[in-house]
Amino acid sequence: MQRYNIQYNRMKSYYILLFFTLILTGCGKEGLEEDVYSSLGVSNYFKNADDAEAILNAAYASEQRRGFRDYFIMAEITTGTIYDRAGGLEALAKPFETFSWNATHSFFSGIWARHYTTIYRANLVLDKVPEIELDETRKKQILAEAAFLRASAYVILKDLFGPVPIITTSNTSADDKPSRPSKEAFDQFVTDDFKAAAAALPVTADRGRATKGAALAQLAKYYLNNKDWANAADYAKQVIDLNVYQLFSGSEDRSELFNPLNEDNSEFIYIRPRLAVAGLGDNYISHAVPPGYRWTGGSKENYATQFKTYSSFYNTFADNDTRKNAFITQYYNTGGTLVQLGTDDIRNLKFKEDLTATGANSGNDFPVIRYADILLARAEALNELNGPNAESILLINQVRQKAGITQLNAANFEGKEILRRAIFRERAWEFVAEELHRQDQVREGIFIQKAKERGLAAQDFQVLFPVPQSEIDKNSNLVQNDGY
């Protein structure tokens, strides 16, 4: 019953959020162009606390509605772990499998527009809410949430494209042609936003909303991906020291962390919430199950598109690693026949079937950052600073213990390079299908190398994707990434 009460309350919240998102669609930006507002516009809308909450919810909606299509494919299929076959999505995914993308691919323009919509809406909050009379504590939190959402959008854009134009106001027009900042200026802006958010956000909040821990965790990961090891280690420790997060302990099976029945846990630091209703659901599992798969909880949609896992990756798991339980190598079809999956046809059902779902809409929340990520981030940063050390080994072993596998022994790691490889192997096992693998390979310095080892004509500049050609065409000051 508790599960359904939680679902009901969240459903109410997200229906409200979706309602305001639809109302405020005119407030969005397609890229950096100005839109024409309806009668419900900026000038006559921001009058009270409800208005402030509504546009903040709209910013959350655009930031959290990333689904299992563009970013997932760019983050996972490029790494040689997962690939896509069949259905309408295969043609869009294929360039990322073969490293043959170009600047006109629709994924790039879609991601650019979606995240600048978030930035615009967050800026609208930051511009207008200070003028509204409402409880000062809540006002500070609203502004902090907006700063968090803005910075989170910039994190994704930088991850894909490198530093992009920084927009700090909602008062923009089609005549504005911002240029790309230096890496130093961009990094300073993003970290300042997260630090301001962390200072004002509460330690706990409703699921899916920004918290102090979420802002600190974003800082830890941002510094980690920038190889600023000292700051990465420090901010990871600040998250740990909040004493509000812990590794999931509700089951001996590590893969049960991703069962919708267990999603209200203390390991998920920041999530993209999902509900089993049209427009608010997750559809990963409908992409991953094989043809004719017999569902446990009744009929659900099985897409023609199929996300498959390479056997070479699956075989790297220890047999007793409970994270391996997320994969299937055989299944019963709707006719009751046991079907064996062949080589490179393994399916990752990490985001487990939601028994309450109908069609392709499941209520599986997606973790953006979870506590295991922070433990391994600190372990990595400390190793880069000091070489193999007792704390790094302890942090890694916390994660391995939950997976049911042998603990690491510090005596086996004579140099930071050896421990570094062990940490990245652990991350690959722990975070497969969580949109972290590409950035991990980039940070390890093997992203292009691994593609070449797969026989692909990958080039060094493809460590970044091209700025969408549509944005280059609109903005003469927007410089394209090298190689494109």
For the chain, the domains span: 9-83+101-201+464-474
Q: What pLDDT was estimated at residue 182?
A: 97
Distance CA 194, CA 214 (A): 9
| HSE (side-chain half, CA atoms, 13 Å) at 446 | 13
Domain 9-83+101-201+464-474 has CATH 3.90.1150.200: no
Q: What is the 3-state composition of the chain as percent helix, strand, coil, each rounded to the nearest 5? A: 55, 10, 40
Q: What pLDDT was estimated at residue 125?
A: 96
Intra-chain end-to-end CA distance of the chain, in Å: 54
Q: What is the largest CA-CA distance in the chain?
A: 69
Burial class (CB in 10 A: 0-12, 13-18, 19+), 175: exposed
Tell me the mean pLDDT in the region 300-329. 96
- Over the stretch 391-421, which tens digit does the pLDDT of each residue have? 999 999 999 999 999 999 999 999 999 999 9
Question: For the whole model, what pTM was predicted?
Answer: 0.91
Burial class (CB in 10 A: 0-12, 13-18, 19+), 255: buried
- Over the stretch 294-304, which tens digit does the pLDDT of each residue have? 999 877 899 99
pLDDT, averaged across the chain: 90
Distance CA 27, CA 117 (A): 8
Q: What pLDDT was estimated at residue 276?
A: 87
DSSP 68: T
DSSP 262: G
- Over the stretch 161-186, which tens digit does the pLDDT of each residue have? 999 999 999 998 877 899 999 999 99
Distance CA 169, CA 124 (A): 7
Distance CA 457, CA 467 (A): 21
Q: What pLDDT was estimated at residue 297?
A: 86
**364, two tokens:** 């599986």
CA angle 120, 125, 131 (to 5 degrees): 140
